[in-house]
Amino acid sequence: MKRSELTEFAVEEEGFKLKIRRGTNGLPIVSTARGSSSPFPPADSAPSNALPNGAVQPVGGSSAPAAHAGEEVGVVYIKSPMVGTFYRSSSPENKPFADSGTKVIETSVVCIIEAMKIMNEIQAEAKGTILEVLVENGQPVEYGQRLFKVKQG
């Protein structure tokens, strides 16, 4: 991490998160979260998400109750399944696949994410109406990043 001047690295898959961040003293802080079958042995001293001053930070950067408090009933998010560049249409001349007010079903293409020069069509995977487009055209996106806010129904 020091050689590449990397300060934080995170990997997230279904049911598993790994986050490594350089602490203020330059040593890595590792946070993991998984069901009861974590492949990582329990730490003998401080928890894996302990800060250098002894405090413990929540895995994922926020506490679970706060995440649930901000969620809206009947609203889901279409999230990026990969890292890449977000495009709202197949070309600059074409109209967007989805905009606020667009009704979608599970198989509706809502955007394209370009990854390694491959254009990947992203489907809604939810039925409802697009309430908001959360990413600007041409912007880079991360794995799991929210792209669209959808009212189910």
Calpha distance 78→151 (Å, rounded): 11
* Among the listed residues 100, 102, 81, 98, the one whose alpha carbon sits nearest the alpha carbon of residue 89: 98
Q: Is 125 helix (H, G, I), strand (E, B) or coil?
A: coil
For residue 8 the two structure tokens come to 């934080």
- Calpha distance 65→44 (Å, rounded): 28
In the chain, domain spans: 8-65, 75-152
Contact 32, 18 (CB under 8 A): yes
Of residues 17 and 129, which shows the higher confidence score? 129
Higher pLDDT, 36 or 125: 125
Report pLDDT for 137: 94
What DSSP state is assigned to residue 66?
H
Instruction: Classify the C-alpha dihedral 66-67-69-70 as positive or negative.
Output: positive
| CATH class of residue range 75-152 | mainly beta
Residue that is written with structure tokens 């993991």 in the block:
32
Q: What is the pLDDT of residues 82-118, one digit of tens each?
A: 999 999 999 889 999 999 999 999 999 999 999 988 9
